Amino acid sequence: MKPRLSITLLVVLALLFVGPAGWSDVRYEVDPPDILGYKTLKCDFHMHTVFSDGEVWPPVRVEEAWREGLDAISITDHIEIKPHEDVAGDHNRPYDLAVRAAKASNIVLVRGTEITRDTPPGHFNAIFLSDNRPLDEEDFLKAVEAANRQRGFVFYNHPRPRWYDVHTKMLENGWLHGVEVVNGGTYYPHAHRWCLEKGLTMMGTSDIHDPAPRRRTTPENHRTMTLVFTKDSSLKALKEALFEGRTAIWHADQLIGSRKYLEAIFKAGVQIGVPHYRDDDEEAVWVEARNDLPIDVRLERAGDYGPRNITLSAKATTMLEIDIDGGQEQAELKYVAGNFLIGPEEGLPLTLTVPSR
């Protein structure tokens, strides 16, 4: 009998060990800038665990998020896909099992789930729920209605290019609030267009099933995430921001979002220095451009002056050689940031202002 008793102790120790997130571990901060008076939260609202077709235990998603510098996540296991017959537990278990880890590691954990149907209608995430169970409905629209009854935020996952009647109906009912413009590694230009046309919130998610393949977020290797511009770090402020469409997406080497937000991010993150050297023989001045963003900015010249192509590498300073024209230093340079997408294949127009010496 005695061994069994002490095993209880071991169980407790084991639980503690696997409990709250990795404090022996390290979180490298990502740091896109706060803009327009808002705080910028790094979020991923689409991920899976063994409670549907994922491969990890729920708190792992919190630990991964913490290490990768995220601020808020939602575990959105499928209501309808539960291939692991050995795993019991109702639709609320993933959240319930992860919540202590989230508290200890300061991650905002949003209760959510994925409503899963063939297209049409397709797959939909509902987040900011208080109880996932009422969404276990045979009728699709009843499930969506159940989500909305809880004032959940509903978005359309990895959408096919065609917009169906059921989507119109959801929109008309006020039941659809966002669309994944990026899911994992895939960008959907049609979803981008829908967001612009129909006022839906742009979402970017990992839809991760496997354990996360990285230990930290870098400009070259990061999870697809949604940047949400919030009044503060609370669940309430986060929800409000999503309903008001205050998001941008960081996908691969691109930022995707409305002109207003991308422009603000550029301005907050990139500083052009005062020209520090002038060479009249070469008819040029030299200027440093410092990019504190975690993403390269790839600029193509849209005006008459400045280098034709500039890459402002992430977290680095780039030296610019700018033409002098007739003795006149150029103060305003016109460019387009090709990897800051304000629409499908439409880069962000920018003016680089060079301070006078």
Chain residues 179-208 in contact with its own copies, contact rule CB under 8 A: none
Q: How far is the CB of 326 from its own copies (least distance, A)?
A: 22
Q: Which of residues 95-134 bind its own copies (CB under 8 A)?
A: 97, 103-106, 116-118
Which residue in 57, 160, 49 sits closest to 113, CA to CA?
49
Neighbours of 70 (CB within 10 A): 24
**Residue among 208 and 249 whose Cβ is closer to its own copies:** 208
**Residue among 36 and 314 whose Cβ is closer to its own copies:** 314
**Residue among 131 and 288 whose Cβ is closer to its own copies:** 288
| All residues at 6 or more sequence positions from 202 whose CB lies less than 8 Å from its CB, including other chains | 178, 179, 181, 192, 195, 226, 245, 247, 248, 249, 256, 257, 258
Give, for 270, the enclosing helix (H) or strand (E).
Answer: strand 270-272
* Selected range binding its own copies among 45-53, 236-244, 335-343, 348-356, rule: CB under 8 A: 45-53
| Own/partner long-range contacts of 22-25 (Cβ < 8 Å, ≥24 apart) | 22/63, 22/66, 22/67, 22/105, 23/104, 23/105, 25/63, 25/66, 25/67
* Selected range binding its own copies among 76-84, 191-199, 200-208, 334-342, rule: CB under 8 A: 76-84
Contacting residue, 34, 80, 131, 253, with its own copies by CB under 8 A: 80
Site mask, its own copies, residues 265-304, x = CB under 8 A?
Answer: --------x--xx-x--x---x-x-x--------------
Q: How far is the CB of 69 from its own copies (least distance, A)?
A: 8
Contacting residue, 37, 138, 172, 345, with its own copies by CB under 8 A: 138
**Residue among 31 and 240 whose Cβ is closer to its own copies:** 31
Cα of 106 vs its chain's centroid, Å:
18
Distance CA 264, CA 19 (A): 39
Residue count at the site for its own copies (CB under 8 A)? 74
Structure token digits, residue 127:
């987040």
Tallying the residues shown for the chain, one arrives at 357
- Residue 171 near its own copies by CB under 8 A: no
**Residue among 80 and 253 whose Cβ is closer to its own copies:** 80
Contacting residue, 234, 317, 351, 353, with its own copies by CB under 8 A: 317
- Residue 147 near its own copies by CB under 8 A: no
Neighbours of 162 (CB within 10 A): 9
- Residue 39 near its own copies by CB under 8 A: no
Asked if the bond preceding 121 is cis, omega within 30° of 0, the reply is yes
Contacting residue, 173, 283, 319, 351, with its own copies by CB under 8 A: 319
Is residue 225 classed as helix, strand or coil in its secondary structure? Answer: strand
- Residue 29 near its own copies by CB under 8 A: yes
- Residue 251 near its own copies by CB under 8 A: no
Q: Which of residues 209-248 bind its own copies (CB under 8 A)?
A: 209-213, 215
Range 298-317 burial, b when 16+ CB lie within 10 A, else e:
bbebeeebbeeebebebeee
Structure token digits, residue 256:
């995707």
**Residue among 51 and 155 whose Cβ is closer to its own copies:** 51
Residue 343 near residue 262 (C-beta atoms within 8 A): no
**Residue among 323 and 346 whose Cβ is closer to its own copies:** 323
Is residue 103 classed as helix, strand or coil in its secondary structure? Answer: helix
**Residue among 118 and 345 whose Cβ is closer to its own copies:** 118
Q: How far is the CB of 267 from its own copies (least distance, A)?
A: 19
Is residue 4 classed as helix, strand or coil in its secondary structure? Answer: helix
